[in-house]
Amino acid sequence: MKTGDYRRDYAAYSAALERARYDYHTGVEPELRLAPLRDRYADLWTHAAVDDLKRALEEIPRQFETERVALSALLRAAQSGYLEARAAEVTDELERCKAAAHVEWGGARLASDDAPDAIAAETDPARRRELAARWFDALRACDDLRAARLDMLREGARSLGCDSYFNFLSGIAEAGVESLNAGAVDFLERTASVYAVKMFEWSARHLPAVFAREPVYADSLFFARLTHLDPFFPAGELHTTYEATMSGLGIRVGRQSNVRIETTAAQFGRTRAACLAVKPPEDVRLVYRREGGTSYYQKFFEAAGRAQHFAWVSRDLSARYPELVYAPDETTRAGFAFLFGDLLTDAPWIAAHRNVRPSEASEIARSFVFVELHRTRRACVRLGQQRTLEQATDTRSEHLAESYAAALEEAINFRAHPSLFLRDLVPGGVHDTRGERARLSPAVYLRARLFAAALGEYFRTRHGHRWWSTGKVADELIDMWNTGSRYSVEELASLVGLGALNFDMLADSINSTLIRE
């Protein structure tokens, strides 16, 4: 297959995949229908196609840097597709198993993937624990298939010459993964004391004494949901808050004809908000459920960050190199998603856009920072445990599952359960409908998190604490968005002048925010 033909078909496949996701998120289709796409574009994911792209990359002179970067991304997309194609049969069976693994609750049947949201919304800690216990039982029913899927993916990675499947997922070289893991271990140590103190305070405030002594994983879902702050984030003001924020940057949402914002009544099985890049930059869709609450606002702003990234990409780049728009490495667009999601950790933004007193805004912002610390610590554990799992000969090992639960418990201060092991560590691939954040590998999550934190601090230093209210920031963002995913977050950080991304600034910022009263 000629490279030009492959690019054309890859762009067509990517657009069709986004349309399928759009139909699913808006409730047009009851499930994410991927089998027809897989059959129609099967030629893209063969070993022969991978070999052809490798040869084409080797033939490009090194001075043609953009062409080499683009073809490297196209090769990675082909490799990812090849791995998923190899595991397709077991993946389909896993999806059927998950669909059948319902949880009986309150006279209704919850799909297994919907249970975490139901647990997070449950205000009674005893009921949370009971629902979580049923969910853990449902997870076990599909663990053999999760293990089989991982085995197929690892074998496929080895057939491509990759030493590690999880390293392949990370989007960076082995040395970079080792450095990221070392930084993650240091981050856990540097934030442990502050996290433990704040978690003790949270447990005493939000859990009855009998439960506060030993918070469990079900409580962690309730904790991250921040239900007590929902009155500050009503459903009816979500869109106007977004419009006002973007207007402050000089971006008129109502005039962005290429970004379609839609609400949907679709509920279970659909994420709260999603960006669907059907044909960027001409056709980008932002779909969300018209509901209020902290998690809805944050998920919406993260999806909006992705949407703006796609909406401002160069038309020429999109036409010539679709692989730099539909990039297989999600880190760059996730970094911009986190930048906008992090507005809810910004006290001045909360005070300005949620009409609360500065003291209230600071308290709300600290709550969001605390939850982000919790999520980042969990991602650090997942990164280290994936490296351990990579070397394991028996992915169903009870010892590994118990070790993961122990490591997770030590990091997040909630008693974890071994049933989370394979669910947390085995990637769901294109079938994963849990939401854009949940689909990220821990390495991608952490790289994106470091970039967003560094970029936010850069804007505060250059433009003040109200950086989100100046058009100069939008000019800089549009310049970056224009390049799509041409540059990795590490390269963008260097080009902008952020320096090398590391955990130091993130740890210092979080510690100082949570210690401050």
The Cα–Cα gap between 372 and 410 comes to: 17
Question: pLDDT for 465-484, tens place per residue?
Answer: 999 999 999 999 999 999 99
Which residue reads 């999600």 in tokens?
Answer: 330
Q: What pLDDT is attached to residue 270?
A: 61
Q: What pLDDT is attached to residue 14?
A: 97
In a domain, 130, yes or no: no
Give yes or no for residue 434 having a pLDDT over 60: yes
Query: For residue 129, how far is the Cα from the chain centroid?
Result: 26
How much is the average pLDDT of 154-173? 92
In a domain, 56, yes or no: yes
The Cα–Cα gap between 143 and 1 comes to: 38
Q: What pLDDT is attached to residue 269?
A: 53
Give yes or no for residue 213 having a pLDDT over 70: yes
| In contact, 264 and 23? CB cutoff 8 Å | no
pLDDT band at 99 (very low <50, low <70, confident <90, very high): confident
- Sequence-distant (6+) residues with CB within 8 A of 230 are 292, 293, 294
Domain boundaries, position 47: 1-86
In a domain, 54, yes or no: yes
Query: DSSP per residue over 153-222, as a string?
Result: HHHHHHHTT-S-HHHHHHTS-HHHHHHHHHHHHHHHHHHHHHHHHHHHHHHHHHS-HHHHTS-BHHHHHH
How much is the average pLDDT of 452-460? 97
How much is the average pLDDT of 148-172? 93
DSSP state of 231: G
| In contact, 281 and 258? CB cutoff 8 Å | yes
Question: pLDDT for 366-424, tens place per residue?
Answer: 999 999 999 999 999 999 999 899 888 899 899 999 999 999 999 999 999 999 999 99
The Cα–Cα gap between 484 and 455 comes to: 16
Give the pairing of strands 283-289 and 273-279. antiparallel
pLDDT band at 451 (very low <50, low <70, confident <90, very high): very high
pLDDT band at 438 (very low <50, low <70, confident <90, very high): confident
Q: What pLDDT is attached to residue 154?
A: 95
Question: pLDDT for 227-275, tens place per residue?
Answer: 999 999 999 999 999 999 999 999 999 999 999 999 987 665 567 899 9
How much is the average pLDDT of 430-434? 74
Which residue reads 């010539």 in tokens?
Answer: 320
How much is the average pLDDT of 309-338? 96
Closest CA to 157 of 142, 170, 145: 170
pTM, entire model: 0.96
Torsion of CA 172, 394, 221, 209, to 10 degrees: -130
Percentage of the chain surpassing pLDDT 70?
98
Domain count, the chain: 1
Please list the alpha-helical segments (H only) found in 342-419: 347-353, 358-390, 398-412
In a domain, 16, yes or no: yes
In a domain, 325, yes or no: no
How much is the average pLDDT of 97-112? 88
| In contact, 269 and 254? CB cutoff 8 Å | no
Q: What pLDDT is attached to residue 429?
A: 81
Compute the mean pLDDT over every residue in the chain, rounded to the nearest whole number: 94
In a domain, 413, yes or no: no
Question: pLDDT for 62-93, tens place per residue?
Answer: 999 999 999 999 999 999 999 999 999 999 99
| In contact, 184 and 380? CB cutoff 8 Å | yes
Q: What pLDDT is attached to residue 267?
A: 62
Cis peptide bond N-terminal to 281, omega within 30: yes
Q: What pLDDT is attached to residue 30?
A: 85
How much is the average pLDDT of 115-141? 95
In a domain, 511, yes or no: no
In a domain, 79, yes or no: yes
The Cα–Cα gap between 32 and 25 comes to: 9
Question: pLDDT for 2-13, tens place per residue?
Answer: 899 999 999 999
| In contact, 489 and 336? CB cutoff 8 Å | no
How much is the average pLDDT of 145-157? 95
